[in-house]
Amino acid sequence: MRFGVNPNMIVLAREYNGYSQAELAEKIGMSPTNLSKIERSDISINQEVLSLISDVTRFPVSFFSQEGSIVPENMNYRKREKVAQKLLTPINARANIVRLHVQQITRALDTKLTAIPAIEVTESLTPAIIAKQVRKLWKLKNPITENVTEILENNGIVVSGFNFGTERVDSRCVLTDDKVPVIFYNNSMLGDRQRFSLIYQLGHLIMHTFHQVDWERDVSHEANLFTAEFLMPEADIKDDFSNGVTVPLLGELKRKWRVSMVALLYRADDLGFISENQKKYLLQKFNELKIRRREPLELDVPIERPSLIRQCIAELKTQRKFDTKDMAAWLHLSTDEFIQLYG
């Protein structure tokens, strides 16, 4: 294409803003068919059209000349079973743009992040056993994980939060071309759900990202089993359930383990401390108390704040004597968009 335009960046800019091809085409005075051909590299683009797309999407012209491909949506979402594609598309676009930034920043800093372990699930190597191995590898002696985000970032995983625009999607993960893992989470979540979602994605990264996974495997269930053991180790939590499980007890244990009461209830069930009828009864009590969807405010777990990518940006600004405007331009962003993403 003329001007060295990468059509993938046109797609990302459009989807980042939540526009369909028809909507963007209308805004720039072009037929959807021609815009589709531009995005497929079937026809070239001229400077005038590129400037119009830049204005409408609020990305500088330089954004569209970046190299890079789009990582497709994959199984590594934590979300409700049914989510409209219109909601997923802008999340995926933003994740791809931040992925490109992480790649650009880590290459510029020549950052050698710690490689995460890649462990394949087998009959003898269950998700729970893998979780135990990772905890041991990372020297997590305290069974209660105080700050999940800090642990992930200390072990070479970039964590990035933004508002997904829906409560139906919690998180997803991707790899840069250099295999740097990035976990994205919905920053509208409460702290207990945030922590569970981050470790859920860690499970995906370790067990599923570097291995061929048979389609019939329930990878979401495997990630949940990994998370349960990582955040609520069986050897340490079983005594908490030994005298019976009640709603008040689950509230007390939420303060201790920093996971939701519902997660604790399912953990007690998985470990055989309650019967199916007891689980149904307790869930019914949750509904009666109106705490199934929103647990008591006084039990809220603090929201964790990632810092690794901001630290890298600060280091790069110092090295290159960049101000915020310079840094935004280097990442092919407007200053306002840079502040929204990383400010």
Q: Quick one: tokens of 26? A: 């209308």
Q: Which residues contact 77 (CB under 8 A, 6 or more apart)?
A: 88, 169, 171, 172
Name the residue with higher pLDDT: 83 or 306. Answer: 306
Six token digits for residue 297: 């405010």
Phi, psi of 102 (to 5 degrees): -60, -40
Q: Same structural domain for residues 7 and 140?
A: no
Is the pLDDT score of 265 beyond 90? Answer: yes
CATH number of the domain that 65 lies in?
Answer: 1.10.260.40
Per-residue model confidence (pLDDT) at position 112: 75
* Domain match, 295 and 190 both: yes
Is residue 324 situated within a structural domain?
no
The residue-averaged pLDDT of 175-184 equals 93
Helix (H, G, I), strand (E, B) or coil at 29: coil
pLDDT band at 214 (very low <50, low <70, confident <90, very high): confident
Please check whether residue 322 lies inside any domain of the structure.
Answer: no
- Are both 156 and 242 inside the same structural domain? yes
Provide CB contacts within 8 A for 208, sequence distance 6+: 75, 76, 219, 222, 223
Q: Check pLDDT > 50 for residue 89.
A: yes
Asked if residue 46 and residue 190 are part of one domain, the reply reads no
Q: What is the pLDDT of residues 21-40, one digit of tens each?
A: 999 999 999 999 999 999 99
Mark whether 169 and 279 lie in a shared domain. yes
Full domain range(s) for residue 40: 1-70
Q: Residue 115 has what pLDDT?
A: 82
> E strand or H helix at 77, and its extent?
strand 77-79
Question: Regarding predicted confidence, which is higher, 4 or 203?
Answer: 203
Q: First vs last Cα of the chain: how many Å apart? A: 34
Domain count, the chain: 2
Confidence band for 75, pLDDT divided at 50, 70 and 90: low
Scored b (16 or more CB within 10 A) or e, 231-267 reads bbbeeebeebbeeebeeebbbebbeebbbbbbbbbbb
Considering the domain architecture, whether residues 17 and 116 belong to the same structural domain is answered as no
Residue 197 lies inside a defined structural domain of this protein: yes
**Domain co-membership, 21 together with 136:** no
Given a cut of 80, is residue 73 above it in pLDDT?
no
Burial of 289 (0-12, 13-18, 19+ CB in 10 A): exposed
**Which of residues 343 and 223 earns the better pLDDT score?**
223
Q: Give the pair of three-digit tokens for residue 61.
A: 């012209």
Same domain, 41 and 174: no
pLDDT for the residue numbered 1:
41
Beta carbons within 8 Å of 228's beta carbon, 6+ residues apart? 128, 131, 263, 266, 267, 270
Q: How far apart are CA 195 and CA 330, in angstroms?
A: 32
Nearest alpha carbon to residue 279 among 225, 234, 241, 329: 241
**Whole-structure pTM over 0.75, yes or no?**
yes
Determine the Cα–Cα distance for residues 218 and 81; give it in Å rounded to an integer.
Answer: 13
54, 116: one domain: no
Residue 100 domain flag: no
DSSP H/E element including 173: strand 169-175
Find the mean pLDDT for residues 242-252: 96
Query: Looking at the domain assignment, is residue 289 inside a domain?
Result: yes
Q: How far apart are CA 134 and CA 1, in angstroms?
A: 47
- Check whether residue 264 and residue 152 sit in a common domain: yes
pLDDT digits (tens, 9 = 90+) for 274-308: 999 999 999 999 999 999 999 999 999 999 999 99
Say what the pLDDT of residue 2 is. Answer: 46
- What 3-state class would DSSP assign to 221? helix
- 269 and 137 in a common domain: yes
Instruction: Region of 3 please: left (phi>0), alpha (psi -120 to 50) or beta.
Output: left
Position 168 in a domain: yes
DSSP string, 229-260: HHHS-HHHHHHHHTT---HHHHHHHHHHH-S-
What are the backbone dihedrals phi and psi of residue 302, each rounded to the nearest 5 degrees, phi first? -55, 140
* Same domain flag for 39 and 186: no
The mean of the pLDDT values for the chain is 94
Beta bridge partners of 174: 182
